[in-house]
């Protein structure tokens, strides 16, 4: 066991996961759990994978984030099915530190979430990839944010090879609810990244921001596809995607699609694909940084 943890920490996982409320999963097995009052977690290890049911009772507001770490060391599949229900007036943040090491790894997660009235759910998924990692990542999140609710998510892979990555979000946003979805990724030689955000602004005064940043640091392929539907009265949406090329033989694609069928709704978008701004690089070089250092600083900022 301590061997697994040593592996995880050497990949960059913060040590404080050991003494914070958490659920730590290796492959399809729960290896550690520290409960938090008011958050019920049920686990079922089945043939298809691990099923996790998380229920946050009403009015629960932990001050610190709950850790939900999924990792896989060595070849094989990890398949996780998560159901999250955040009860009325609760406010909770989950941090998923996901660490992977080895060849022929599959990491598949399907998450269903429901954010009840006036509740708040924040999910941050930060990946720690080992140097020679060979991985397929398929992460799908689907959910509803009820009246006055908030959903925030950040998905980030920035170290070493990203792998074959497919990240999908599909969210219904009800009255006065708001969501903020961000994906930040850096890819390298051989990586293939696909990000899809589908947002239905169904409620009146519902709000959504879908933002993605993909930096191609090697020969790779990446695509962002975002659809936001402005359906409810005064719904407001914005898609902001930008992709950055650092070398030749890269295929990047960004498609923001905006569908509005309500005259009071408004959805805007901005999309950009290009190389890093020369002016930014020069500004840092004027402070003594060589080009590689300058690029690293700029990319780190973009993916923060």
Residues found near other proteins in the complex (CB under 8 A): 277, 279-280, 282-291, 294, 297-298, 300-304
At closest approach, how far in Å is the CB of 182 from other proteins? 11
Q: Cα separation of 131 and 101, whole Å?
A: 8
From the CB of residue 37, how many other CB atoms can be counted at a distance below 10 Å?
A: 9
Q: Across the strands, what pairs with 77?
A: 106
State which residue, 15 or 279, has the beta carbon closest to other proteins: 279
At closest approach, how far in Å is the CB of 223 from other proteins? 21
State which residue, 208 or 294, has the beta carbon closest to other proteins: 294
State which residue, 174 or 244, has the beta carbon closest to other proteins: 244
At closest approach, how far in Å is the CB of 247 from other proteins? 20
Q: Is the dihedral of CA 118, 172, 25, 303 positive or negative?
A: negative
State which residue, 156 or 202, has the beta carbon closest to other proteins: 156
The three-point CA angle 67-241-178 to 5° equals 55
At closest approach, how far in Å is the CB of 254 from other proteins? 16
At closest approach, how far in Å is the CB of 230 from other proteins? 25
Q: How many CA atoms lie within 13 A of 35 on its CB side?
A: 10
State which residue, 119 or 298, has the beta carbon closest to other proteins: 298
First to last CA, the chain: 32
């Amino acid at each position: 066991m301590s061997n697994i943890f040593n592996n995880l920490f050497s990949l960059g996982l913060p040590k404080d996961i050991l003494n914070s409320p958490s659920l730590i999963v290796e492959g399809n097995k729960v290896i550690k759990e520290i409960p938090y009052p008011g958050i019920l977690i049920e686990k079922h290890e089945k043939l298809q994978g691990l099923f996790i049911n998380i229920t946050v009772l009403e009015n629960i507001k932990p001050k610190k984030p709950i850790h939900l770490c999924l990792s896989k060391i060595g070849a094989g599949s990890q398949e996780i099915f998560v159901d999250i229900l955040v009860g009325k007036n609760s406010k909770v943040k989950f941090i998923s530190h996901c660490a992977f090491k080895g060849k022929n790894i599959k990491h598949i997660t399907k998450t269903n979430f429901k954010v009840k009235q006036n509740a708040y759910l924040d999910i941050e998924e930060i990946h720690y990839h080992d140097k020679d990692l060979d991985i397929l990542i398929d992460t799908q999140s689907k959910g509803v944010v009820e009246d006055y609710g908030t959903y925030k998510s950040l998905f980030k892979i920035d170290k070493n090879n990203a792998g074959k990555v497919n990240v999908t979000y599909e969210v219904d946003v009800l009255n006065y609810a708001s969501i903020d979805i961000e994906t930040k990724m850096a890819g390298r030689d051989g990586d293939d990244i696909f990000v899809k955000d589908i947002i239905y602004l169904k409620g009146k005064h519902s709000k959504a921001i879908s933002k993605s940043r993909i930096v191609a640091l090697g020969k790779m392929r990446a695509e962002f596809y975002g659809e936001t539907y402005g359906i409810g009265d005064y719904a407001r949406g914005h898609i902001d995607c930008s992709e950055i090329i650092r070398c030749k033989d890269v295929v990047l694609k960004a498609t923001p699609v905006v569908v509005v069928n309500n005259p009071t709704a408004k959805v805007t978008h901005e999309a950009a694909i290009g190389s890093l701004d020369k002016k930014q690089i020069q500004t840092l070089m004027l402070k003594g940084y060589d080009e590689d250092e300058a690029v690293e600083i700029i990319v780190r900022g973009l993916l923060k």
